Amino acid sequence: MDQISRIIRLEREGSKFGLERISELLRRAGHPDERLKIVHVAGSNGKGSVCAYISQILRAADKKTGTFTSPQVYCYEQKFCIDCNIPPRELVNKYLSAALNAAEGMADAPTAFELETCAALLMFSGEGCEYAVIECGLGGLYDSTNAVAKKQVAAITSISLEHTAVLGGTISDICRHKGGIINDCPAVVPANLCAEAAEYFAARGAAVAGRNMRILRSSLRGQSFECDEGTFCVGLTGVEQAYNAAVAARCAMLLGIDASAIARGLKNTSVPGRVQRIASGGRMYILDGAHNPAAFSPLVQALGKMRGGKSLVFTCLSDKDVASAAALIGGYFKEVIIVPAPSVRAMDTGAIEREFKKYCNNVCLCGSIPQAMERAAEKTVVACGSFTHLSEVKDWIEKKR
């Protein structure tokens, strides 16, 4: 039976905060988390990148590692990687079945994300992983991933106002939720936090990564930088990625990983859907899942380095700050093509169009990704605004090759 389809249907029921259900589920499943060394990552932006950096570092150090992240970018199985490789669908189904079996008879049925969390831990322990790198779903304090035991280190990547209806409307509120993952373990935060967040985590004894950051070289193909953790090269652009890499390096140091593995792991890291470059048919395509103002910074830095005309294919969900997105990136494009997001939470395309017309004279609506990609006229085409449409964009590019 395809349990992945079952879980995807269950996602429509939404999420619920609290650790009671997941704690009971992990107990019924035999506490798979207790057989793993866990690195837990929370933050407003950069979680996926830090998870990718840490996972590659551990791989370079010959430590078998599972990585649980969400949402997926291109395929569902991407949520559950082992040694940075996407597992086969049958393996994911096997461990989702085990999680669903463990949930049988629970009076308060687990959510889709809670079942996925359990399945990931079962998979990683069952497949012989030593480490598990786990990304928080929402917040941290009451996120299902925070039920895990055996945390070796907690990383907080960034702090900004997000999901305020759930997490609260102040930086202090956000810090309380993100910092909730610091449970009897060392913690690492980046040096570029705002003053209020920096003070909050300093009071919790967190180590600060990326002090004395200096970018040595930067291009669309990556950058090199030096900071207190060392001198490193990464294939991702944007100063925020340098801080993310520094956080990963400091976490690895706390885990006792040697400097050469750290350098190799950082250099080998690629993150799908983060200013991802795909050259095809004489064009350059840039795919980016940024969906809040702070997350657009690496893309904005990349756009500033790119010459020639550019087309934008944009969509977003209804709870996103489209006005800020348009203000940040709208002026870089000769044309903006708006498409509906493939989600029940899609923002009205007319509302998106009105915002982008403030910054670009050539804005139009298209009914689908293929129509938008066919219509794009410039040599460089950027698709961004949400992770929800990147898979379809990538599929279109690959079919045109």
Residues 50 and 195 in one domain: yes
Mean pLDDT of 89-110: 97
Is residue 172 domain-shared with residue 86, that is, in the same domain?
yes
pLDDT tens per residue across span 81-91: 999 999 999 99
CB 43 within 8 A of CB 363: no
pLDDT band at 330 (very low <50, low <70, confident <90, very high): very high
Q: What is the pLDDT of residue 11?
A: 87
- Looking at the structure, do residues 194 and 284 belong to the same domain, yes or no? no
Q: What is the pLDDT of residue 163?
A: 62
Torsion over CA of 110, 113, 115 and 118, rounded to 10 degrees?
A: -120
**Residues 155-164: what's their mean pLDDT?**
79
Give a yes or no: residue 264 inside a domain: no
Mean pLDDT over residues 378-389, rounded?
92
Report the CATH number that the domain containing residue 37 is assigned in CATH: 3.40.1190.10
Tell me, what's the pLDDT at 1?
64
Please list, residue by residue across 230-242, b when 16 or more beta carbons sit within 10 angstroms of its beta carbon and e when fewer do. Answer: eebebebbbbbbb
Name the residue with higher pLDDT: 146 or 14: 146
38 lies in the same domain as 134? yes
Q: Which pLDDT band, with edges at 50, 70 and 90, does 17 fall under?
A: confident
Would strands 131-135 and 207-209 be described as parallel, antiparallel, or unpaired?
Answer: unpaired
Whether the CB-CB separation of 173 and 197 falls below 8 Å is answered with no
Q: Is residue 83 part of a domain?
A: yes
On whether both 159 and 285 belong to a single domain, the answer is no
Q: Are residues 9 and 146 in the same domain?
A: yes
Same domain, 314 and 194: no
Contact 232, 244 (CB under 8 A): no
Residue-wise pLDDT tens digits, 28-53:
999 999 999 999 999 988 999 999 99
pLDDT on residue 52 = 98
Task: Tell me if residue 231 falls in helix, strand or coil.
Answer: strand
> Is 224 contained in some domain?
no
pLDDT tens, position by position, 111-127: 999 999 999 999 999 99
The answer as to whether 259 is a domain residue is no
Residue 295 has pLDDT above 60, yes or no: yes
Question: Taking the C-alpha atoms of 243, 244, 249 and 254 in order, what is their torsion angle to the nearest 10 degrees?
Answer: 100
* Residue 167 placed within a domain: yes
Of 152, 181, 207, which marks where a domain is finished? 207
> Which pTM was predicted?
0.94
Distance separating alpha carbons of residues 124 and 311, to the nearest angstrom: 41
Q: Are residues 173 and 284 in the same domain?
A: no
CATH code of 280's domain: 3.90.190.20
Q: In the prediction, which pLDDT does 166 show?
A: 56
Q: How confident is the model at residue 188 (pLDDT cuts 50, 70, 90)?
A: very high
Tell whether 48 and 182 lie within a shared domain. Answer: yes
Q: Is the pLDDT of residue 386 over 80?
A: yes
pLDDT digits (tens, 9 = 90+) for 226-267: 999 999 999 999 999 999 999 999 999 999 999 999 999 999
Q: Where does the pLDDT of residue 198 fall: very low under 50, low under 70, confident under 90, or very high at 90 and above?
A: very high
Domain-located, residue 260: no
Percent of the chain with pLDDT over 70: 98
Asked whether residue 346 is domain-assigned, the answer is yes
Domain stops at, among 188, 207, 226: 207
Alpha helix stretches (DSSP H) within 186-296 = 195-203, 239-254, 259-268
Question: Does one domain contain both 179 and 285?
Answer: no
Same domain, 192 and 57: yes
> Domain range for residue 348?
276-400
* Mean pLDDT on 13-26: 90
The reported pLDDT for the residue numbered 244 is: 97
Final residue of a domain: which of 192, 207, 222? 207
Q: What is the largest CA-CA distance in the chain?
A: 60
Per-residue pLDDT averaged across 344-354, rounded?
A: 91
pLDDT score recorded for residue 98: 98
Mean pLDDT throughout 15-29?
Answer: 93
Q: Residue 25: what pLDDT?
A: 98
Helices (H), ranges, 29-170: 47-60, 89-103, 112-126, 164-167
For the record, the structure tokens of 278 come out as 């795909």
118 assigned to some structural domain: yes
Are residue 184 and residue 61 in the same domain, yes or no? yes
Asked whether residue 162 carries a pLDDT value surpassing 70, the answer given is no
At 165, the pLDDT band (50, 70, 90 cuts) reads low
Number of structural domains the chain divides into: 2
State how far the Cα of 394 lies from the Cα of 48, in Å rounded to an integer: 19
